[in-house]
Amino acid sequence: MSHNIQFGTDGIRGQANTPPMTAQDALRIGMAAGHFFRRDQSNKHRVVIGKDTRRSGYMIENALTAGLTATGMNVLLLGPVPTPAVGLLTRSMRADVGIMVSASHNPYFDNGIKFFAPDGHKLSRAEEQEIERYCNDFVDCVDVSKIGRAKRIDHGLGRYVEFVKTTLPQNLRLNGLRIVIDCANGAAYRAAPDVLWELGADVVPVAVSPDGFNINRECGSTHPEQAKKKVIETRADVGICLDGDGDRLIVIDNEGQEVNGDQVLALLAKRWAKHDRLNHQTLVTTVMSNLGLERHLCSSGLSVERTQVGDRHVTELMRKKGFNLGGEPSGHIIMSEYSTTGDGLISALQFLAALVDSEVSSKEMTQVFEPDPQIIVNVPFSNGKQPLKNKNVTTIIQDNEARLKDIGRLVVRQSGTEPLVRIMVECQDEVIMREVASQLQSAIAQSAEPTIEAKQI
């Protein structure tokens, strides 16, 4: 074996057909997962596997299936379904493990493998480390009489669609709402338009024709320009943008403006608190959320708890302390009453329920709080580089943290899913904010030898 397989912040991810996303790697990962999750020698163990619409999904799905069946696991292939559907079906179908083949919002040439435990939640770090150990060690195949079976099932997506519809309050319908739904040519391209139409909406679909290569390309939550134009063109009441695997939501208001995820979180937290639904009167979010969100909710008598970046950390704190609403400004929203992970479609329905009840435009409804000035810059770097360990960079970060101590915040971190350093600066003095961001961007870019030029501030 020429390389080790390691989990990142959200499963195992990389460029397809290069380590760790080759067919050989997927075979090793499948065998390791089968060995780990097969509790006894019976032939009753089952795995559900979903995927998004990338061409490489066929290769990885088949290689995983070979590895899993070689270790005695029976595989149920769901086909293209959103990531949260895999979490739901893992639990409801009493599977021993759920697997989603997806690289989320990344371009088509990337892919990834995410795992769900039998309870539908993502694996703990300790469980991931055990699977890593098996990936990088020898795993025995079962006797020929114990090889598992694999079959495709057609009802998985339908079960998910029916469940999602039940999350809209029974007394509400979406009749009269014109909704642009951008599915990023990804995993939700069938489910999302069907759910909205069946609940009464006038649906304007965008990016619902996947070809294996156009997932997230100039569409979806990371590129909402197409949806913005369509909202204006069709005079829609609101636009909903999902990402490639359907676990992220970005809202476009009726004037074609993007709504930050923090505004949606603030809206839902206040609405749930009003209806006595918000556990412990607390919203969970990450260090990336705007200070204006925290200030606004605290002034309304609510609390905010922050975690490291990543929906896993949000979910872990929610489970530990019994909170039921959390998320990130990027659009991951976790509602533990409904789902074990972020679900863009369920989040959209909760937002739409608030819109129906409000009797105001989506523009008016989403201006919940005044955010502090904030800038986010992504600096790419070459593989193998570690710019945040550069002495000059660490010194500049420390100096600017001291500079912002009483007037703002600074978060600098390496992405767990892409070769990027993410810089977030928040300060009520916009001149200082841009000075700090520019200085950090320049220092990191010089040490990182980026493969493409950093986006200029």
Q: Catalytic residue positions?
A: 104
- Residue 179, beta-bridge partner list: 203, 238
Collapsed DSSP state (helix, strand, coil) of residue 308: coil
Which residue in the block uniquely carries the two structure tokens 């025995």?
140
Q: Degrees (nearest 5) of the Cα angle 129, 132, 134?
A: 115
Reported in sequence order, the residue ranges of 253-363 that DSSP labels E, i.e. its strands, are 258-259, 282-286, 303-307, 325-327, 333-335
Distance CA 166, CA 304 (A): 28
* Helices 430-448 & 391-403 angle (0-180, nearest 10): 170
- Residue 100, beta-bridge partner list: 50, 114
Terminal Cα-to-Cα distance of the chain (whole angstroms): 43
Query: Would you call 370 exposed, middle or buried from its count of C-beta atoms within 10 A (0-12, 13-18, 19+)?
Result: exposed
Give me the amino acid identity at 14: G
Distance CA 49, CA 113 (A): 10
Local structure of residue 307 (DSSP, 8 states): E
Contacts 24+ apart (CB under 8 A), 113-116: 113/11, 113/12, 113/13, 113/26, 113/29, 113/60, 113/64, 114/10, 114/11, 114/83, 114/86, 115/11, 115/33, 116/86, 116/87, 116/90, 116/340, 116/341
In the numeric block, which tokens belong to residue 243? 């990402």
